[in-house]
Chains A and B, each alone.
Chain A
Amino acid sequence: MGLPGLEFAAAVFTDPTVIGLIVVGTLVGVIVGALPGLSSSMAVALLLPFSLYLDPIPSIAFLAALYCAGTFGGSITAILINAPGAPPAAATAFDGYPMAQKGEAGRALGTATVASVTGGMISVLVLLFAAPLLARVAYSFGPPEYFALAVLGLSMLATISGEARLKNLIGGCLGLLIATVGIDLTTGVDRFTFGVPELLDGIHFIPVLIGLFAVTELLTQAQHLGRKRSVVTLAALKLPSLADIRSVMGTILRSSGIGTFIGILPAEGSTVAAMIGYNEAKRWSPRPETFGSGAIAGVAGPEAANNAATGGAMVPTLALGIPGSATAAVILGGLQVQGLRPGPFLFEEQPALLYGIFFAMLFANALFLVIGLIGAKVFSRLSLVPPALLWPSVLVLCFVGAYGLEQSMVDVWVMIAAGVLGLGLKRYGFAAAPIVMGLVLGGLVETSLAQSMIIFDQQWAGFLGRPIALVFFVLALGGIAGAPALGILRRMLSGADSKNVS
């Protein structure tokens, strides 16, 4: 079975301009993605005007490459300095940074690269074969289904074993609470804004993320400064072994599927995909208790999912003209400005352009396999820099990133507040991951619940008539009830000598 549209591939791979632009787009994307506060959607929007001077194929290929690479780039800073360069990389920091601290930065970066590339490629192949068909899936997702999906995401909070469970649930609720700040979509009422106009559209995700991860870590470093560091040697530069990759291949494939699917849904993008990818990696792991302290599958899961979501997001964008993510929306604008109308017709009228985009995305993915693996060796040297020099630089990056997002001082204060509170929460045993999960899913949970209740005339029973939603609810319930059950089973199987499973 050959690839469809292979005859158009030549147009991409023989044109040096196109190749050059994809290379540049990929490099710029990785850098922009890695810098906190600069996201791929911003970069694409910034470079859109430049791309108008190009023909449609090179211009869209350039933007698509930038989009793919930008999502990948965020994982570099997430792993090395606990400051996710972009929201989709937040989940990568959960286990990536602990790995770097253990002196496995290269292993984490290499795994992230392989997972990203695999996820990205799989989703582009899906796009290539089934875009018009899959795009219809978007239509069967109404508010009740989104609500059920969000509940499935949140259900993970309850499945974390041991005494931390209550604290994880509370952390998730704190995230949900932060997400309610701003104007309520269903009533137009502003909540918890204290008269600050910048808070009307909610507390921004990036400053909270930078604060909770990087600033909290800075303060923690101050606490541990001078204490003898665990010896971080040149072994930190070592890439993952083939056995490592083989061990996470199942996770990567599962997350690629999840990511592609969530990417296709117009209302959700890479960030939610990464969260659910992480959750599922943990749920399916034989050793879920290692998650949060540097599990390699905890890096592979979200990274495969968030990059798969980029290809997925292009499905409704190109096939329906409904953007699958914020970045895809800007690319959609680029197509329209080029005089093209996305929709099912695009596949018949503009196959050269369409397959040009596909192959550009494939090429970009292949390219950052190279960039990522070489880069992993180079970047992971950062973890050898002494803390007293590294963390001041990180702090500068935090301020610049938090401010640069909206050019607003309010975001800077939000970041500081999140950082200081984050230290307090950490000391009292609350992990950052549940808070971030609640924050990411909060808006979705509340809005889709309110919309569902209006659709169902305030009758909860309405959910019973939505089979897809029911499947998600059952999965969520299975997750909550299943994990303890599995734990008991495992304990019984492993015999009496493993006393401390939690």
Chain B
Amino acid sequence: MFQATGSTARLAPGVDRECGRTPARQRLVGAFGLLLACAAAGVGAVHAQEEFPSGPIDIVTHASPGGGTDTTARTILTGAREALGTDVAVIPRTGGGGIVAMSYAAGRPRDGHTVLAITPTHLFAIARGQGPLTIEDLVPVARATDDPLVVTVRSDSAVGDIEDLVALGLERPIKWGSTQVGSIDHVAGAVFAQIAGTELSVVPFAGGGEIVTNLMGGSIDAAGLNLTEALQQIERGEFRALAVMAEERIEALPDTPTTVELGYDVTFSTVRGYVVLRGTAEHEIEILESGLLAGMNHPSYLAYLDGAGLSRSAIAGREVWGAQLEQLYGDARQAMIDLGIIRP
């Protein structure tokens, strides 16, 4: 009746079907006292035959609420719910550079009702051999954003450009704000420091919002913030963008040079996509792909991308995302080897 094993039909869909189309309304109806009617209907629908999705779908994220990964997932929900005809919820499992989220997802039945949000941070953890999953366990579903890292300082900082930052780093360790240990902005800072030959001392925080406040407050020198996290402050003149960690300049910051054009071959971008774990049935992946893509092409998600300064071209299905996932994993492994964390 409730979920006990992967194959057992869940209760919620029956309730959905009987008590109104959208689960959100159903939930409110439920809360307002038509509970009995719903219950009766639910009991009758228990043995309804399985179809996909047969219950709410959970998107497991590794980021605390309010961060880029969390907001991306929550914004996709609106359209995805409509397209999939079931409830979709964000389940944050923070900590450990994605290991907690991956462990949680690994413990869920592989029936398509658990979708895992993947960022390069997860790939670093996998490359380090941490957590229960290997790269082969990840089956691509869809890609949502491509959010490049921007090397950022406070606008009244003495550091005017990337050369100043390198000079500072030769003098004393740069205090570099980063989310969690082994996350993308941590590795990006470490790779940059290695190429530039500078010292780096990484100050880990729980999320991007905390890095922003600490960069404003002056506790740290610089950070590799996601464009979404830094754009507002950059536009307001509170932060200075020294370089975008990419090959080509981006639309949102046309005047900011890239690390590659400045002569540092460091490119890092928080690519956020969704996967299910190996073992999920093919037709379920297909339905999920179209459902998530519908969520991403929903006006509210497109408005979010535009507002955050992100390119719409990041929205892609599983073929494009799968190819990139493989490439990103190769890059992640290489970065870990370069930094001497793993052996080739």
Which residues does A use to contact B, with CB under 8 Å? 24, 28, 41, 45-50, 52-53, 138-144, 182-183, 185-188, 190, 197-198, 200-202, 266-267, 321-323, 326, 329-330, 332-333, 336-339, 341, 343-344, 447, 451, 454-455, 457
The complex places the Cα of A339 from the Cα of B307 at a distance, in Å, of: 8
> Which one of B11-19, B65-73, B137-145 is at the A interface?
B65-73
> Which one of B90-98, B243-251, B326-334 is at the A interface?
B90-98
Contact B232 A200 (CB under 8 A): no
Contact A200 B96 (CB under 8 A): yes
Chain B's interface size range is 35 or more
Contact B219 A323 (CB under 8 A): no
Q: How far is the CB of A502 from chain B (nearest CB, A)?
A: 41
The complex places the Cα of A140 from the Cα of B216 at a distance, in Å, of: 8
Q: How far is the CB of A157 from chain B (nearest CB, A)?
A: 25
Contact A185 B95 (CB under 8 A): yes
With beta carbons under 8 angstroms apart, the residue of A50, A144, A185, A330 that contacts B180 is A185
Taken residue by residue from 86 to 119, chain B's Cβ proximity to chain A (1 for < 8 Å, 0 otherwise) reads as 0101100111110110011011000000000000
Contact A454 B175 (CB under 8 A): yes
User: Given A49-B77, A329-B66 in contact, is the A139-B96 Cβ separation under 8 Å?
Assistant: no
The complex places the Cα of A300 from the Cα of B284 at a distance, in Å, of: 53
Q: Does B28 contact A (CB under 8 A)?
A: yes
Contact A201 B100 (CB under 8 A): yes
Contact A337 B75 (CB under 8 A): yes
Which of B64, B93, B100, B180 has the largest number of chain A CB atoms within 10 A? B100
**Please, which residues of chain A bring their CB within 8 A of the CB of B106?**
197
Closest to A50 in B: B24
Which of B27, B66, B90 has the largest number of chain A CB atoms within 10 A? B66
Closest to A189 in B: B181
> Which one of B160-168, B206-214, B253-261 is at the A interface?
B206-214
With beta carbons under 8 angstroms apart, the residue of A28, A143, A202 that contacts B219 is A143
The complex places the Cα of A339 from the Cα of B103 at a distance, in Å, of: 34
20 A-B pairs, CB-CB below 8 angstroms? A28-B31, A45-B90, A52-B78, A52-B300, A53-B25, A139-B213, A142-B217, A143-B203, A188-B181, A188-B182, A200-B96, A201-B96, A322-B213, A332-B65, A333-B70, A336-B307, A339-B307, A343-B236, A454-B202, A457-B201
Q: How far is the CB of A449 from chain B (nearest CB, A)?
A: 12
**Please, which residues of chain B bring their CB within 8 A of the CB of A182?**
95
**Please, which residues of chain B bring their CB within 8 A of the CB of A321?**
232
Taken residue by residue from 117 to 144, chain B's Cβ proximity to chain A (1 for < 8 Å, 0 otherwise) reads as 0000000000000001000000000000
Contact A337 B209 (CB under 8 A): no
Q: How far is the CB of A468 from chain B (nearest CB, A)?
A: 10
Contact A337 B304 (CB under 8 A): yes
**Please, which residues of chain B bring their CB within 8 A of the CB of A338?**
300
**Please, which residues of chain A bring their CB within 8 A of the CB of B32?**
24
**Please, which residues of chain B bring their CB within 8 A of the CB of A330?**
65
**Please, which residues of chain B bring their CB within 8 A of the CB of A454?**
175, 201-203
The complex places the Cα of A47 from the Cα of B29 at a distance, in Å, of: 12
Closest to B175 in A: A455
**Please, which residues of chain B bring their CB within 8 A of the CB of A457?**
173, 201
Q: Does B193 contact A (CB under 8 A)?
A: no
Query: What 8 pairs between A and B have smallest CB-CB spacing?
Result: A329-B65, A188-B181, A142-B219, A329-B66, A197-B103, A183-B96, A50-B24, A323-B66
The complex places the Cα of A344 from the Cα of B31 at a distance, in Å, of: 36
Contact B232 A141 (CB under 8 A): no
With beta carbons under 8 angstroms apart, the residue of B87, B103, B236 that contacts A344 is B236
Contact A201 B93 (CB under 8 A): yes
Contact B96 A188 (CB under 8 A): yes
User: Given A321-B232, A333-B74 in contact, is the A200-B307 Cβ separation under 8 Å?
Assistant: no
User: Given A341-B232, A454-B203, A455-B220 in contact, is the A197-B132 Cβ separation under 8 Å?
Assistant: yes
